[in-house]
Amino acid sequence: MSAYIALADGRVVEGRSRAPGTGRGELVFTTAYTGYEESLTDPSYAEQVLTFSYPLIGNYGVRDDRFESESVQPRVAVAREFTEDVAEWLESEGIPAVDGVDTRDLVTGIREQGAMRCGVAAGPDATPEQAREQLEQCVGMSDHVDIGAQVSVDGPEVYDGTGPRVTLIDCGAKKSIIDALVERGAEVHRLPYDATPAEVADTDPDVVFISNGPGDPANFTAAGAVVDHFAGEVPIAGICLGQQVVARSLGGETEKMEFGHRGLNQPVRDLETDRVIMTTQNHGYSVADPGELSVTQVNVNDDTAEGLEGVGIDVLTRQYHPEANPGPHDSLGFFDDVLAMAESPTPPVTSD
């Protein structure tokens, strides 16, 4: 069965259909060579067409205990070759899957031209015209103004613990972030992406934590309002999109990257220790100006901000994914540092 990928640059790439259907989204790539189950269930991939640069996806099967959410998140999955296990899983989820394409060429195109809109048609009756029709309906990531509603929890959830109370604003949170906090004894209150400051206050948080998620941080205004309300009064933490939301709320600016960081081997340098760690990343936006915050870590490849801290207030954020599912464990200590803020917060600055 044939499959077609219509690209915004005018090309139509033909491949093999491994799971039928049509779809559209921003075409992005990941260099991850393991962790395909985690990547495919990561809510940060919502409204995107995920291309794997590693040639064979599925060589150790599919296990749901590795999932980061309850369903596959990208609109379409593309690889050089999918195994039967992965192809059957994607079909059962209703996600079109395409392989038999030159993914090296796709990745090169994204690196040279940036992440681009695309449309996909796959199956026995698929045509290039159907793929082009999907492309015509595709919008950019910043135009998904309420993408949080697709990936957030519907209502409050509580994960019991005996340690600090962490209120997690779920903008598309990975399961492993919650697991990392619970494993350290935290009591986690998970609230929807559009929770109000009053709803957060009802949980009596020791830490307010803004999660990862898909899309443009400028569209997560409710989470930004929470940060603005509690900064200086309650410690604030954030991962990935969370870092961007926190920075914007504290006077900073964000920007869309040309093709983003998506993979398991992004090198990050700590500016204080000069130590370099390897990190897992998945984002298409970055902090261009930290505002009131201080940049403490940078990406070795392009100097983008990877870590921010508050000056006189308890704020700690990371652009990468310290929970490392999948990926290296170099940065797991971030969660210990977050909970340490809760136990010994900096007193708020007051003026006479």
Token representation of residue 85:
């296990």
β-bridge pairing 294-299 and 305-309: antiparallel
Nearest to 313 by CA among 253, 251, 268: 251
Residue 321 annotated as catalytic = yes
Residue 68 annotated as catalytic = no
Q: Within the chain, which residues score under 50 in pLDDT?
A: 349-352
Residue 321's contacts (CB-CB under 8 Å, 6 or more residues apart) are 174, 177, 212, 239, 240, 279, 280, 281, 282, 327
Neighbours of 352 (CB within 10 A): 2
* 58 labeled part of a ligand binding site: no
Residue 88 annotated as catalytic = no
Domain-by-domain residue ranges, the chain? 2-139, 148-343
* 148 labeled part of a ligand binding site: no
* 213 labeled part of a ligand binding site: yes
CB 27 within 8 A of CB 118: yes
Residue 43 DSSP one-character state:
G
> What pLDDT is stored for residue 327 in this prediction?
78
* 224 labeled part of a ligand binding site: no
Residue 31's contacts (CB-CB under 8 Å, 6 or more residues apart) are 53, 54, 262, 263, 264, 265
Residue 152's contacts (CB-CB under 8 Å, 6 or more residues apart) are 170, 171, 172, 192, 193, 194, 213
> What pLDDT is stored for residue 330 in this prediction?
85
> 25's torsion region: left (phi>0), alpha (psi -120 to 50) or beta?
left
> What pLDDT is stored for residue 351 in this prediction?
37
> What pLDDT is stored for residue 141 in this prediction?
97
β-bridge pairing 165-170 and 207-210: parallel
* 284 labeled part of a ligand binding site: yes
Q: By three-state DSSP, how is residue 156 classified?
A: coil
CATH class (in words) of the domain with range 148-343: alpha beta
> What pLDDT is stored for residue 295 in this prediction?
98
Tell whether the torsion through CA atoms of 36, 37, 38 and 41 is positive or negative: positive
Nearest to 79 by CA among 55, 107, 105: 55
In CATH, 2-139 is 3.10.580.10? no
* 285 labeled part of a ligand binding site: yes
Residue 349 DSSP one-character state:
P
> What pLDDT is stored for residue 352 in this prediction?
36
* 44 labeled part of a ligand binding site: yes
Task: Catalytic residue, from 240, 261, 283, 306: name it.
Answer: 240
> What pLDDT is stored for residue 350 in this prediction?
43
Residue 112 DSSP one-character state:
H
pTM of the predicted model as reported, rounded to 2 decimal places? 0.95
Nearest to 19 by CA among 101, 120, 117, 97: 97
